[in-house]
């Protein structure tokens, strides 16, 4: 990616790099107290574990394994998105654009293409996620789910020749060529909301770690 975090095609759950490109294109290196730097440090271990075990970077991933992973992503988003609806539907900063960040509909379409009917999905248990119900939880969760869209672009590219997965990768590329801009928008909104408030920063980090752990538990 040219503007977002440096990604590794081995995972759809990404962590950003130290240098950020903010609105307007200026690159800056922020201090260790910056919320994005705190998130990178604190989620590095669990992110690496997810990256190591996910397997989506393999262009020859068995279709059955791919389907299982998409079902797991569905269960996670089925748990997360109603809560994020409650938190962000009336959020004041338009750059967040929460409704445009929902992924469940794409997962439903992809899984239908893979032979999993919507009725079967409705019968699945939702994944266990952290209990938070405040904006700090919401931003921590979005750090994980939105970072995933950057790695997803590379994964989808690697799977583009797979005829058995045609029409089943829209979850990986929800924003097309706007993925970098959408990530920058989220970073900016999160930095505005956290500011220099250490209590908010710690709560966002705790929520992000918890969301990564939920992904780890649901995916394997």
Average confidence (pLDDT) over 160-170? 96
pLDDT digits (tens, 9 = 90+) for 85-117: 999 988 999 999 999 999 999 999 999 999 999
Residue closest to 175 by CA, chosen among 206, 137, 146, 212: 146
pLDDT average, residue stretch 130-136: 94
**Domain chopping of the chain, boundaries:** 33-219
Is beta strand 19-21 parallel, antiparallel or unpaired with respect to 27-29?
Answer: antiparallel
Q: State whether residue 34 is helix, strand or coil.
A: coil
Contact 171, 13 (CB under 8 A): no
pLDDT tens by residue, 167-216: 999 999 999 999 999 999 999 999 999 999 999 999 999 999 999 999 99
- Choose the CATH number for 33-219 among 3.30.565.10, 3.40.50.800, 3.50.30.50, 1.20.910.10: 1.20.910.10
| pLDDT category of residue 2 using cuts at 50, 70 and 90 | very low
Query: Taking 90 as the threshold, does the pLDDT of residue 23 lie above it?
Result: no
**Mean pLDDT value of segment 16-40:** 58
């Amino acid at each position: 990616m040219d503007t977002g975090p440096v990604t590794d095609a081995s995972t759809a759950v990404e962590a950003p790099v130290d240098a950020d490109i903010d609105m307007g294109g200026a690159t800056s290196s922020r201090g260790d107290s910056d919320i994005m730097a705190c998130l990178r440090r604190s989620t590095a271990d669990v992110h690496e574990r997810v990256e190591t075990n996910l397997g989506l970077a393999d262009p020859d991933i068995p279709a059955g394994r791919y389907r299982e992973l998409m079902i797991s992503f569905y269960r996670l988003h089925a748990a997360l998105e109603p809560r994020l609806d409650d938190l962000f539907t009336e959020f004041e900063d338009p750059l967040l654009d929460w409704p445009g960040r929902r992924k469940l509909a794409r997962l439903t379409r992809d899984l239908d293409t893979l032979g999993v009917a919507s009725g079967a999905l409705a019968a699945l248990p939702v994944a266990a996620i952290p209990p938070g119900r405040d904006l700090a939880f919401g931003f921590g969760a979005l750090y994980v789910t939105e970072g995933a869209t950057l790695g997803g672009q590379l994964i989808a590219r690697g799977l583009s020749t797979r005829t058995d997965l045609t029409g089943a990768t829209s979850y990986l590329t929800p924003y097309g060529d706007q993925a970098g801009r959408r990530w920058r928008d989220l970073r900016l909104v999160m930095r505005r909301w956290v500011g220099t408030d250490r209590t908010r920063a710690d709560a966002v980090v705790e929520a992000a770690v918890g969301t990564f752990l939920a992904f780890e538990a649901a995916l394997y």
